[in-house]
């Protein structure tokens, strides 16, 4: 550029430029709504925040517990109103603090002292009155492929009768990738979007054969009945991160679960069928699949600068 303003650091990286826009602090909204409450399967909460901005926002969240966290949505819900959703595993009442940033067009500053840089279109690029975002660190994280490697024997095949708190234990995600030596400030806040997704399922079946007569080499001479039950338990997961000291863990959060069951009975007398037929086939769209496992960025900053 032949005019304007440019500030770089000793590594020649741009700090402030009239050709770009810096992110600035625009607000710290409280939780507006708690959604997707799950108390089994490892627990889940989704916290929704609402903020006003004329331009897209970039949220950061704190992690007050050792649960998994991640941003699951940033959406414009009409006009200048934006809704941000943060996912958390576990069942505690703790809520992440939300710090929202945007470029300086988002809010009107107050005060008359500081430094203001304009772009060539006359809109602000940097405004020291608005508390610019200062990044303190970051890393790339990838999630393990399988949230739950082995599903145990013991879920009921009969009409999905294993209750959620018992079936949930079988599906609690327990796999993490660990990243060590991550330096964080005294009050760290994180920007991390939950992109990775996974689905896991297991079908438990029972087949019962009853012969009221003589069973001759597997053939029933008399009244015969065959019953079959199948219960397909499933869980859907989204990726999250948690901080433990100087480690960041990338793991999973259960965001939905359920079970589908079928039952069939067939009868015969003296080898002559007296009723019953069934069939099944085809493929499910996503069955035991994991999606979007490419490494995702985690950006770290000091939340105490904006309190």
Residue 193 CB-half CA count within 13 A: 13
Q: How far is the CB of 199 from other proteins (least distance, A)?
A: 10
- Answer for which of 14, 208, 244, 260 binds other proteins (CB under 8 A) is 208
- Answer for which of 85, 171, 201, 300 binds other proteins (CB under 8 A) is 201
- Let me know how long the chain is: 307
**Does residue 157 belong to the site contacting other proteins (CB under 8 A)?**
yes
Asked if 202 contacts 167 with a C-beta cutoff of 8 angstroms, the reply is no
Residue 94 CB-half CA count within 13 A: 15
**Does residue 213 belong to the site contacting other proteins (CB under 8 A)?**
yes
Q: Which residue's CB is nearer to other proteins, number 43 or number 157?
A: 157
**Does residue 285 belong to the site contacting other proteins (CB under 8 A)?**
no
Q: Which residue's CB is nearer to other proteins, number 77 or number 150?
A: 150
- Answer for which of 166, 206, 270, 291 binds other proteins (CB under 8 A) is 206
- Answer for which of 153, 278, 281, 307 binds other proteins (CB under 8 A) is 153
**Neighbouring residues of 241: CB distance < 8 A, sequence distance ≥ 6:** 63, 68, 69, 70, 141, 190, 192, 248, 249, 250, 251, 298
Q: Which residue's CB is nearer to other proteins, number 1 or number 216?
A: 216
Q: Which residue's CB is nearer to other proteins, number 157 or number 188?
A: 157
Q: How far is the CB of 217 from other proteins (least distance, A)?
A: 12
Q: Please state the separation of Cα 292 from the chain's center in Å.
A: 12
Identify which range of 1-9, 25-33, 211-219, 246-254 contacts other proteins by CB under 8 A: 211-219
Q: How far is the CB of 215 from other proteins (least distance, A)?
A: 4
Q: Which residue's CB is nearer to other proteins, number 33 or number 205?
A: 205
- Answer for which of 51, 71, 130, 202 binds other proteins (CB under 8 A) is 202
**Of 181-200, which residues contact other proteins (CB under 8 A)?**
200
**Does residue 205 belong to the site contacting other proteins (CB under 8 A)?**
yes
- Answer for which of 33, 145, 244, 304 binds other proteins (CB under 8 A) is 145
Instruction: Give the separation between CA 98 and CA 48, rounded to whole angstroms.
Output: 10
Residue 174 CB-half CA count within 13 A: 9
**Does residue 212 belong to the site contacting other proteins (CB under 8 A)?**
yes
Identify which range of 33-41, 52-60, 148-156, 272-280 contacts other proteins by CB under 8 A: 148-156
Identify which range of 9-17, 78-86, 93-101, 147-155 contacts other proteins by CB under 8 A: 147-155
Hey, CA dihedral for 125, 131, 137, 141, is it positive or negative?
negative
- Answer for which of 50, 55, 195, 211 binds other proteins (CB under 8 A) is 211
- Answer for which of 79, 152, 275, 285 binds other proteins (CB under 8 A) is 152
Work out the angle at residue 174's Cα, subtended by the Cα atoms of residues 168 and 178, and round it to the nearest 5 degrees: 155
> Could you list the residues that contact other proteins (CB under 8 A)?
145-146, 149-154, 157, 200-213, 215, 220, 287-288
């Amino acid at each position: 550029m032949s005019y304007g303003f440019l500030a770089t650091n000793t590594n020649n990286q741009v700090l402030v430029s009239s050709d770009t826009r810096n992110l600035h602090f625009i607000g710290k909204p409280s939780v507006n709504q708690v959604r997707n409450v799950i108390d089994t399967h490892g627990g889940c909460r989704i916290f929704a925040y609402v903020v006003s901005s004329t331009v897209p926002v970039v949220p950061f969240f704190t992690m007050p517990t050792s649960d998994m966290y991640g941003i699951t949505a940033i959406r414009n819900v009409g006009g200048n109103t934006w809704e941000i959703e943060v996912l958390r595993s576990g069942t505690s009442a703790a809520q992440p603090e939300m710090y929202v940033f945007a470029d300086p067009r988002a809010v009107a500053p107050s005060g008359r002292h500081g430094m203001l840089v304009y772009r060539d279109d006359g809109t602000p690029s940097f405004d020291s009155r608005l508390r610019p975002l200062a990044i303190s660190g970051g890393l790339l994280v990838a999630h393990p492929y399988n949230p739950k490697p082995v599903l145990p024997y013991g879920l009921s095949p009969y009409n999905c009768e294993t209750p959620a708190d018992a079936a949930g234990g079988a599906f609690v995600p327990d796999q993490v990738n660990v990243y060590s030596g991550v330096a964080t400030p005294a009050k760290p806040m994180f920007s991390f979007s939950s992109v990775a997704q996974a689905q896991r399922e297991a079908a438990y079946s029972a087949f019962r054969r009853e012969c009221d007569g003589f069973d001759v080499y597997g053939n029933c001479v008399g009244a015969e009945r065959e019953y079959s039950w199948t219960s397909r338990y499933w869980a859907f997961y989204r990726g999250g991160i948690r901080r433990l000291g100087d480690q960041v863990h990338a793991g999973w959060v259960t965001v939905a679960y359920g079970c589908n069951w079928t039952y069939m009975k067939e009868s015969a007398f003296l080898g002559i069928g007296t009723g019953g037929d069934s069939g099944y086939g085809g493929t499910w769209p996503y069955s035991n699949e994991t999606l979007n496992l490419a490494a995702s960025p985690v950006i770290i900053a000091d939340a105490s600068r904006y309190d």
